[in-house]
Chains A and B, each alone.
Chain A
Amino acid sequence: MNRKHTIAILVNDQPGVLQRVSGLFGRRGFNIESITVGASEEPGLSRMVIVTSGDDRTQEQIQKQLYKIIDVIKVIDVGSSPMVARELGLIKVNAEPAARPEILGIVETFRASVVDIGANSMIVQVVGDPDKLDAMVELLKPYGIREMSRTGVTAMIRGSR
């Protein structure tokens, strides 16, 4: 059965490491829904978070194949435990002055924020799990979304683990 999986990968902060990981997904036909990379808690190591989908066997293969990359230090199946998953979205939406109060209402409900206002548009910044971003996008669509940029999910297991 195809399911969504969120995995975190601790990698050496080396040139080409993103290419090694993404290339592996590409050539073995593993799906990437989103990928984020940034610094980790340890100097010299980066943390990638990849959201992928596939059956359990694919999921097992993904983890095993990732471990074959020398620059991969650790693979964590974040999604198998209770986790915090967050994504940031910037949405530039049409906002004639007349429409602004309504849009601000939506922004407030989602605990989002307005980070830029232009003559007839504004940029809304929203943070949350991907479902929340999807919902926000749906609600802003009627006003006309000019541009959207989503970071992809970054995630962590809850608690002290």
Chain B
Amino acid sequence: MKLGNYQVKLEKKLRVGGWEAAGISILAILIALLLVSVIFLEAKVNPLDGFTSIFTYAFADQFGVPLTINRSIFILLCTCAFIVPIKAGLWNIGMAGQLYGGALAAFGVAYAFGASPSGSQNLTLAPGLIIPLMMIGAALGGALVGAIPGFLKGRFNTNEIVVTMMLNSVAFWLVAFMIKDGGPFMGAGGEGEGFILPPSLDAPQILGGPYTILLALLLAGFLYFMFARTKLGYQIKTYGQSPSAAKYAGISPYNIPVLVFVIGGLLAGLAGYHLFAANPGVYKITQNYGDFGDLSFYGVICGLISLENPLAAIPIALLFGGLTSGARFVQGELQMGFGVDYAMLGILMITLVAFQFFYRNKIVWKKLEKEK
């Protein structure tokens, strides 16, 4: 293409470095914010005021910060749940279903040991044991939901995207059955919510936040290490690069899909546990649990933006966690129209994904020689 005296060409990039990717992402965020300004201007709000409010609430407000952290932990776990299968070239779009599975299993454990909708306090096991069992239960519950698409992929080569998506619906209605009118996990008030955990089963806190923050950070670090250094990580990556080459090298084309979806489901199950059973002030499967299923899809976006790197996913999850809470706050605070927060996040996501183009291509300018 010619632009004035310049020849403009697209060239393929062989590989993108970590810092370069970070730079591209930051540029994308700045451009997204510029685009979002249009929304603010349309609503007759000074964009600068708008952004200041969003970021102040998200990262420097006594009510906003805990919300941001809770959301970020959730998104980080969902991102990890997406990253493990995508390293094997498989798409986990079923974090929602897996986190519902995890939540149901966690509350199932509590239920089994005496916690009940009637608010009975007669626990049959020490709370100090029930709490870790709930966490393990959630992990297994998520893993079980994840194992289904993994098994179907490994054994019958079904499309994992379709299966995970459909299981989201199955799990969604299963939760509805369990917590709504007459369901075994129905709350005492019967407002379409699950029962509230007895206070003795409230998850321990660290510095005023849920302990799951440590869990999420440790898991992200562990996954990074797993993919960088271990035999298992190598097998998964190799399968993801080329299933036929992996088969040649003796890596089982059955086991890897099962394994990555079990791990992915496990991580999403923990996200469900965090959200409903370890999040201060919640401790129940809420009426709007479906919204959190939707929120889990940020895991896909964060996973792609971080270039499948669990450590790089941490700041990105924090950003999205902050923006989801900040944008909703600003919408009320500045009396803007309904859905502004979604519009904002939508713009951000589209811009970030569009800028991935520059991970693979670069634009080259060359001054044209004057025609003789």
Decide whether A and B are members of one complex.
no
